[in-house]
Each structure stands twice: as structure tokens, then as C-alpha cells.
Chain A
């Protein structure tokens, strides 16, 4: 590179008066140069009137931009954060939720565009298995529900409501094993060894109604933090349900599921965040319209594709 120093003040020399434009003239000397070589900064003579005008315009634009940034920050930041930095504000603008949800929808659309029904998620070996914590949002349900457990299917092409017990599921479907990563919205992840039937096989055995695009996967045994019933419901697009690695899991680490991990049947959908992996499923309802989603109602994404 040609940046050897050759000192000496050359100020004021070599300013040819090309005189093409009355106000702005290029005084840089053009020399042949390598493509990556640094070029001289284009120097020019500007009348002070034009310079003053341009500076005023740029500073006004800069000031307006700074004020706009402050306004947006005040609009978006939560009340707690603002009061912590000494800005009292007691109104929560109604457009705020709409605006933030709009950004979330864009991200969901990107996630949906990235999804491929044929792309498999990475699988791991048994030596890579990590511990998986019980992340029941509230309390873990008492295992008493397991003995009388039934899975209800609704929104089927037949128009019937089907009730299956765990023996039906274990005997009439082929079992698949996989060691995949479960990723939580909180940021942690775990590699676990699962076995169960493919959701796709259940969709073939009990086809949903023709216009169905969604499944509502529900657990009626879910509890809130104080141990009160708090049904958990989650929307799942059927494109994801048909993914070959989307399982209805019956076994964890080679053993039947325990109540901690959603006995006797839980959803394992590795292309979605952990919160879509409903434990202790009691009902699956197929629908044409997007069903409600427990965490989407609490400000999280409703697609959750990863």
C-alpha cells in the first residue's frame, strides 16, 4: 500500500483552478492507483454562504433526529425503566403494543419463510445428552391424573370426537427415537433422548377436516404457580406438525415419561421453542383459523419457529 510518509507541508499548493463550477471545485489530483489503495479525500472550495446553509440544514436534521430518537425511546421503554432513570410517565400509549406486536409478526413471517418441511434438525449421540430441567411454568401436577388419562381428538374429517388411551397409541403406531436439542425461549437448551409416535402418523390415522391448517394442543392438567388449574393451550401450524421429527413423545431416556416431563404423552417439536412442546397433552383440536396461544397472549411470539 502506498501510504509511506513523505512529510512536508503541501498546504495550499497544487490547487488548479479548473473553474468548471462557480461554487464547488475539485482540487484533488488524480493519479493511477490500486483498487484497494486509499484515495485522497475529495477537497473542494465552497463559498461560505453555501457552507453555512448546508451546515444549518444538517444540524437541524441532526437535532430533529435526536429528538425523534428520544421520543421513540420514551414511547417504547417500559414505565419501570423510565421511572428508574427519573422520567415519570403514567400513560401507556395504546399504539405501543400494536407496534411491538407488528415487529414480532415480521419476525414470525421470517421464521415461517425459513421453515422447511424436509430440513431435519441436528441429532446427537447418547454421549452428548445433557440434563433437562423440569420447566413447568407453575407447579408440577400431581401424577394422579395419569391413570385416567385420555387423549381427545377433535376437528376431524369424520366429524367425530375420538378418545384414545396410552395403550391405543403405543400399540397402533410405530415408535421413533431421536436425540435432539430442546431450546427454551429463556436461552438455555438441553439435548435429550426421546421416543414416541410421529404427529404425522396420527394425522394420517385420524385425518383432520380438509380446511384445517392449525392444531390447538391443550393440557387441562397444567397448574399455575400457586397450584390452581391453569389449562395450557398452544397453536401449532399443521406444516410443522407434519415434520418427520415432530413427535408425540411417550418415552424419555428410554423410560416412560414421568409427571415432570409430561406423562403420559407430550409434544416434541424441535423446530419450535420449548414453550410449544406441550406436556401432558389431553386434547388436540384441528381448526381452520389460528387458535389462541397461552404465551402469545402474554406477549411472546405465536409462531416460535427456530
Chain B
């Protein structure tokens, strides 16, 4: 993330405790933020798997029955295509079922999928409360707020990512843009959007779970049928977020990954820049 070398193992001896060797660290994540972050992994996985299984019971995206197979479901078409084109799958007994059986809990398991989905959904809401509590108690919410300079800073980050591979090939220096905030503009956009998506997923979830008692909520999203479409596409936000999230955390290094487990980081320079520039 940052350009300068972390103040790793920076030792300070003070006059009072000359024999103690100290490490300078910054508190990055409140423990509730860390716990809710990791709890999201199994909970979101459970929600997505059971959610796709529920989706199979009545897919949103359907077409006129196929003249050969009678199939109406776009997902089953994809499964058929995969079975026809991926070596080793040619003899799969039911090509339309391939995508069902390999993407989720499979068809014909609606009752189980619904129960898993409610279980995970309540856990997801409780976990969301933990996360917000951690953001408030640790003050971390301020680092997630969008700001006026974000658009320009996001473009600088894009430019950095686009030029990164070329610069590596050309063996020339390609400096990471400097930011004196906890997150750069792209990170901030992502870390701000995902909790918002979580809130919208919960809201659209209730809208389609209780479309009569909470009909105003369904109406807010354009009615019951449209709220289902919202709920379906919101799922893709998590999937699309997770891929670069995991890639970049490994690219950024051990300190960043560790900080989500232990809470502290030895990269202290960001903190001091913010402290001194005001």
C-alpha cells in the first residue's frame, strides 16, 4: 500500500525502561470489525450457496422453451454449454443439471435451502450490527466515508494499476500513488460500497420475504418482482468484490492480512502524516 518501508522492528528505548525493546504499531481495526469481517466469510458463503439454490426453484431469467430440450432457464443453458465444451463432462447424465449441482446445493432442496438461508440471514444481520458497533467504537467509520477528492484519486490508482505490469516488464520504477489516509480512493469506494450492499441485501431480503406486511419496503425497490432482481444482483457485488480483495491483500503483503487478525500494523507512517499535516 505504502511506498516507504514500514517501521518494522523499530526499537525505542526510553529513560524509564531502558531494558524494554518496544515496537511502534498502529491500531488499524477494532476487534469487532475483525471478528465480523471473518465471520462474513462463512455467513456470506452460506447465504450465496443457499440463495442460488432458492433461485433455481424459480429463476428470474427465463426464455421461451427450447424446441429440443424444453428448457426455459438461462442457467441450465450455461450448464448444457459447459457439458458440451469442457472435456470430460460430455457424458454427464443431465447437462442442464450440471450448473445446479456444481454451483450450489442443487435442485429439489428448496426446503433445506430456505432454512439455511434464514439461519445465515439472521446471523448476517447480527454480524452487521457487530461490524457497525466496531466501526463506531474504533472510530473506523471515518476512514470509509467518501470525499470530494475521491474521483481524481481513484483515477490515479487506476493509472497505477494499468501501468504496473508494463513498468515491471520495462524494469522501470512505477511508484504507488501516495495517500495520507488509511485507505486509497479505490479501497475506500470498495469498503464503503460493501456495507451499503449488505444493508440493501438485508432490505431487499425482507422486502421479498415479507412482501405483504412490509409491502412499503417492496414498493421502495419497485415491487416484489423487482426486489427479487435487486436481491439477486446484490449477491454479485460480494462475488465481484471478493476476487480483487483477496488478490490485492496478498499483493499488499503480510502486514495487511495480519492486521485483520491481530488489529495492529507496523506501518506507522500513514498515521503520522495525517497527524502532522493538519
Residues of chain A whose beta carbon lies under 8 Å from any beta carbon of chain B: 1-7, 9-15, 17, 19, 22-23, 27-29, 31, 33, 36-48, 51, 54-55, 58-59, 62, 65-66, 69, 72-73, 76-78, 80-81, 84, 100-101, 103-104, 106-107, 111, 114-116, 119, 121-122, 181, 183-189, 270-271, 295, 298-301, 305-306
Chain A neighbourhood of B38, CB < 8 A = 62, 65-66
User: In the complex, given contacts A11-B268, A11-B269, A104-B118, what are 14 additional A-B residue pairs having Cβ atoms less than 8 angstroms apart?
Assistant: A2-B277, A3-B147, A10-B273, A17-B15, A40-B272, A42-B271, A44-B25, A45-B12, A73-B42, A106-B122, A119-B213, A185-B114, A189-B211, A298-B111
Best-buried of B102, B109, B118 by chain A (most CB within 10 Å): B118
Are A47 and B115 in contact, CB atoms less than 8 angstroms apart? no
B67 to chain A, nearest CB (A): 21
Are B58 and A6 in contact, CB atoms less than 8 angstroms apart? no
Interface residues on B, range: 35 or more
Given known contacts A41-B28, A43-B268, A45-B22, A1 and B148 CB-to-CB distance under 8 angstroms:
yes
Best-buried of B106, B122, B139, B278 by chain A (most CB within 10 Å): B278
> Is B193 in the interface zone, CB < 8 Å from A?
no
15 contacting pairs across A/B (C-beta < 8 A): A5-B180, A14-B276, A19-B14, A28-B271, A39-B142, A51-B264, A59-B261, A84-B106, A115-B213, A116-B213, A185-B57, A185-B110, A187-B228, A270-B212, A300-B114
Are B272 and A14 in contact, CB atoms less than 8 angstroms apart? yes
Are A43 and B213 in contact, CB atoms less than 8 angstroms apart? no
Give Cα A19–Cα B276 distance, bound, in whole angstroms. Answer: 21
Q: Which of B233-278 touch A at CB < 8 Å?
A: 258, 261-265, 268-278
> Is B10 in the interface zone, CB < 8 Å from A?
yes
Residues of chain B whose beta carbon lies under 8 Å from any beta carbon of chain A: 4, 7, 10, 12, 14-17, 20-28, 38-39, 41-42, 45-46, 49, 54-55, 57-58, 101-102, 105-106, 109-112, 114-116, 118-119, 122, 139, 142-143, 145, 147-149, 178-182, 208-215, 219, 224-225, 228, 258, 261-265, 268-278
Q: Select A306's contact among B143, B180, B211, beta carbons within 8 Å.
A: B211
B47 to chain A, nearest CB (A): 13
Are B261 and A58 in contact, CB atoms less than 8 angstroms apart? yes
Best-buried of A40, A46, A72, A119 by chain B (most CB within 10 Å): A40
User: Would you list the 7 A-B pairs with minimal beta carbon distance, nearest first?
Assistant: A299-B111, A187-B58, A103-B119, A40-B275, A186-B57, A41-B271, A45-B22
Are B27 and A44 in contact, CB atoms less than 8 angstroms apart? yes
Interface of A is mostly: loop
Give Cα A122–Cα B223 distance, bound, in whole angstroms. Answer: 11
A292 to chain B, nearest CB (A): 16
Are A37 and B114 in contact, CB atoms less than 8 angstroms apart? no
A46 to chain B, nearest CB (A): 6
Are B224 and A189 in contact, CB atoms less than 8 angstroms apart? yes
Query: Chain A residue with minimal CB distance to B270?
Result: A41
Query: Chain A residue with minimal CB distance to B62?
Result: A188
Chain A neighbourhood of B10, CB < 8 A = 12
Are B102 and A181 in contact, CB atoms less than 8 angstroms apart? no
Chain A neighbourhood of B182, CB < 8 A = 38, 41
Chain B neighbourhood of A111, CB < 8 A = 210, 213
Are A306 and B277 in contact, CB atoms less than 8 angstroms apart? no
Are A114 and B262 in contact, CB atoms less than 8 angstroms apart? no
Are B215 and A107 in contact, CB atoms less than 8 angstroms apart? no
Are B115 and A51 in contact, CB atoms less than 8 angstroms apart? no
Query: Chain B residue with minimal CB distance to A187?
Result: B58
Query: Chain B residue with minimal CB distance to A295?
Result: B111
Are A22 and B16 in contact, CB atoms less than 8 angstroms apart? yes
Chain B neighbourhood of A11, CB < 8 A = 4, 7, 268-269, 272
